[in-house]
Structure 1
Amino acid sequence: MAVYTHVSAETLSTFLARYDVGDLVSAKGIAEGVENSNYLVDTTRDRFILTLYEKRVAAGDLPYFMALLDHLAAKGLPVPPAIPDRTGTAIQQLEGRAACLIRFLTGVSVSHPTPEQARAAGAAMAQMHVALEDFTGDRPNSMGIAEWRPLLDRCGTSLDTIQPGLFARLDAALADVESAWPRHLPTGAIHADLFPDNVLMLGDRVTGLIDFYFAATDILAYDLAIMHSAWAFDGAGAPADAEIGKALYEGYESVRPLSTDERAALALLARGACIRFLLSRAWDWLNTPADALVTRKDPLAYLRRLEWYEQTA
């Protein structure tokens, strides 16, 4: 989450009048994340998240995201569907952006997950995958493997201002991953960004899965590999307690056991995940507006993860 587009209190009050949610009490921009503009909104009746969708989220993709969230909510999963206004409209326009008012979920995202929390989160991902088996929506992965080389080329040798030789290093690593990418594994709707800050917890219990704006049709085990690359390391990219990654996989397989081929591909899929997030972080590092209320994330933390997967495969 982040804030690129500023919304005045007067404008927000007028916006909320479309809904049966009470009157505005307070609103605070949320700086974490890098994708959309987000506000924590309190009214006289409840608490909500207001999201304005920035350029990386195409307005044409929003019906897919909303349908996916509605599908998961109907299956009883703890996700935050958009709230319709009095006319039944969920996707709005605000300050020239597509916008949604979203249900607020209780819980906190953990910065240093325990093995038990990782086990619960892994099981929650598997429950999501199972619940989506009959979801009929389809969306190509806008940050899937076909997009990594074009993004690498757009970053170009500017990557070397982050670390000398980074462009050549990623060029070679990507070539290795592209040549071995397992295209025969089971696919379906995936979250594609289930970092610890996108999982809300109370103790060891998952209370929310949030930020589905990279959701797409892709390899299910790739979703798990993304999650491992996010949960099994600290913020600087150093390996965390080995029990965390192990518990994550155990939690997932307690709900949806992996095939032999899926299990064998996890390290390669994780290398791909590292390249994907290193490139998107690098692009944001090089291009984030100086006045944006946003916390930039260190691209090199994913280079360290990539090196770990290369060395342990």
Structure 2
Amino acid sequence: MAVYTEVSDEALRAFLTDYPLGELIAFRGIAEGVENSNYALKTTTGDYILTLYERRVDPAELPWFLGLMDHLVHRGLACPAPVPGRDGQALRALAERPAAICTFLPGVWPRRVRPGHLAPLGDALARLHLAGADFAPTRRNALGPAGWAPLLERCRADGDAVQPGLIAALDQALASILAEWPAGLPVGHIHADLFPDNVFFMEEAGEALRVSGIIDFYFACTDLLAYDIAVCLNAWCFEPDFSFNVTRARALLRAYSAIRQLSPEERAALPVLCRGAALRFLLTRLFDWVNTPPGAMVTRKDPLEYFRKLRFFLSAENAEAVGG
């Protein structure tokens, strides 16, 4: 579910009086997503997305997220544009939650990743990195390497109930990843959560498959650019049986490098960056798995999916093994 906060018709109509968006035509909750309450909004001026930011999002960080999105749109990236109200402000309050309206993006996200998705993805990711280069404000990656040990500690008591020996294996993996974590690589603004459900594609007659939108920037931060690639290699390049599809990985990296050339140091660091990305998603899933009370209306994601991916990347001896 992705509607945690209900909005009445009366409250919405009052909210919309602060915007030059015409009259309300239709309004419905969107079932996808897990962090915030999202609604599809149709008015006489077009289609929009209304987001109410729930308690897991720090309201103090919302101007950074919205500012980055606005900046990227003005640099030509296909991402949601925050819609300002009549007073010029995009961030407001609705139903006792911070709220914003953004433009609607066409396209669909791939329920099944095909080889043809990877080159457009790599191209779009590189363009995102370049477009954000002159956005001056920064945001620390709260789920970066410094956050992994505390997160693991919060899972320690119950983690082995998910799989016997899991915590000891993660202790060992964390120590080796932190010992090898690279320094001095190019840094910039990254999406940090570019899973298939956050990328829209369109394929029109006579045209190649293309990315029509990148959404959900609420884990975006300032970190190693190549780490964003590692997140994508985790999220897009495994088959259902958890075998790694190196052909997909090469397509992604080739398209990315055609727009923003990776340095030799970035390529060499890809295996450990992939291990770190696998560990990050494993830990957040594990935390949710052991801390979500029975009966909660939240779909928990299997942390062992990323344990299998982590084991593959731990066995990767060089960049070539992950497509580099």
What is the TM-score of this pair, normalised by structure 1?
A: 0.93
Amino acid of the structure 2 residue aligned with 1:155: C
Contact 1:193 1:226 in 2 (8 A): yes
Q: Which residue is 1:209 aligned to? A: 214
Name which of structure 1's ranges 286-295 and 137-146 shifts more when overlaid on structure 2: 286-295
Structure 1 Cα separation of the partners of residues 288 and 42 of structure 2: 30
Amino acid of the structure 1 residue aligned with 2:16: L
Q: Which residue is 2:189 aligned to? A: 189
Q: Which residue is 2:287 aligned to? A: 283
Contact 1:113 1:244 in 2 (8 A): no
Q: Which residue is 1:88 aligned to? A: 88
Name which of structure 1's ranges 114-123 and 223-232 shifts more when overlaid on structure 2: 114-123
Structure 2 Cα separation of the partners of residues 114 and 74 of structure 1: 30
Q: 1:183 to 1:229 in 2, by over 3 A?
A: same
Q: Which residue is 1:154 aligned to? A: 154
Q: Which residue is 1:308 aligned to? A: 312
1:237 Cα deviation from its structure 2 partner: 6.7
**Structure with larger RCO (C-alpha < 8 A, sep 6+):** 1
Q: Which residue is 1:4 aligned to? A: 4
Q: 1:32 to 1:290 in 2, by over 3 A?
A: farther
The alignment-based identity, stated in percent, is 50
Q: 1:17 to 1:296 in 2, by over 3 A?
A: farther
Structure 1 Cα separation of the partners of residues 28 and 153 of structure 2: 37
* 1:160-309 correspondence runs (5 A): 160-203=160-203, 204-234=209-239, 238-239=242-243, 241-288=245-292, 294-309=298-313
Q: Secondary structure at the match of 2:279?
A: helix
Q: Secondary structure at the match of 2:93?
A: strand
Q: Given the alignment of the two structures, is residue 50 of structure 1 paired with residue 55 of structure 2, yes or no?
A: no
Contact 1:271 1:306 in 2 (8 A): yes
Name which of structure 1's ranges 285-294 and 123-132 shifts more when overlaid on structure 2: 285-294
1:261 Cα deviation from its structure 2 partner: 0.8
Q: CA RMSD in A?
A: 1.9
Q: 1:291 to 1:28 in 2, by over 3 A?
A: farther
Note the alpha carbon deviations across 1:144-165, whole angstroms, 9 max, x for none.
Answer: 1111111111122212222222
Q: 1:118 to 1:278 in 2, by over 3 A?
A: same
Amino acid of the structure 1 residue aligned with 2:78: P
Structure 1 Cα separation of the partners of residues 175 and 148 of structure 2: 10
Structure 2 Cα separation of the partners of residues 271 and 23 of structure 1: 49
What is the TM-score of this pair, normalised by structure 2?
A: 0.90
Contact 1:115 1:248 in 2 (8 A): no
Structure 1 Cα separation of the partners of residues 127 and 49 of structure 2: 24
Q: Secondary structure at the match of 1:22?
A: coil
- Structure 2 gaps of 5+ residues are 204-208, 318-324
Q: 1:240 to 1:25 in 2, by over 3 A?
A: farther
* 1:55-94 correspondence runs (5 A): 55-94=55-94
Name which of structure 1's ranges 282-291 and 147-156 shifts more when overlaid on structure 2: 282-291
Structure 2 Cα separation of the partners of residues 144 and 11 of structure 1: 38
1:281 Cα deviation from its structure 2 partner: 1.4
* 1:117-128 correspondence runs (5 A): 117-128=117-128
Note the alpha carbon deviations across 1:5-30, whole angstroms, 9 max, x for none.
Answer: 22223322222222122333333322
Q: Secondary structure at the match of 1:2?
A: coil
Note the alpha carbon deviations across 1:117-141, whole angstroms, 9 max, x for none.
Answer: 2111111100111112222111111
Contact 1:129 1:188 in 2 (8 A): yes
Structure 2 Cα separation of the partners of residues 107 and 242 of structure 1: 27
Q: 1:84 to 1:45 in 2, by over 3 A?
A: same
Structure 2 Cα separation of the partners of residues 144 and 63 of structure 1: 21
Structure 1 Cα separation of the partners of residues 296 and 9 of structure 2: 19
Q: Which residue is 2:320 aligned to? A: none
Q: Which residue is 1:17 aligned to? A: 17
Q: Secondary structure at the match of 1:217?
A: strand
Note the alpha carbon deviations across 1:254-288, whole angstroms, 9 max, x for none.
Answer: 11111111001101101000110111112222334
Q: 1:3 to 1:296 in 2, by over 3 A?
A: farther
1:240 Cα deviation from its structure 2 partner: 5.6
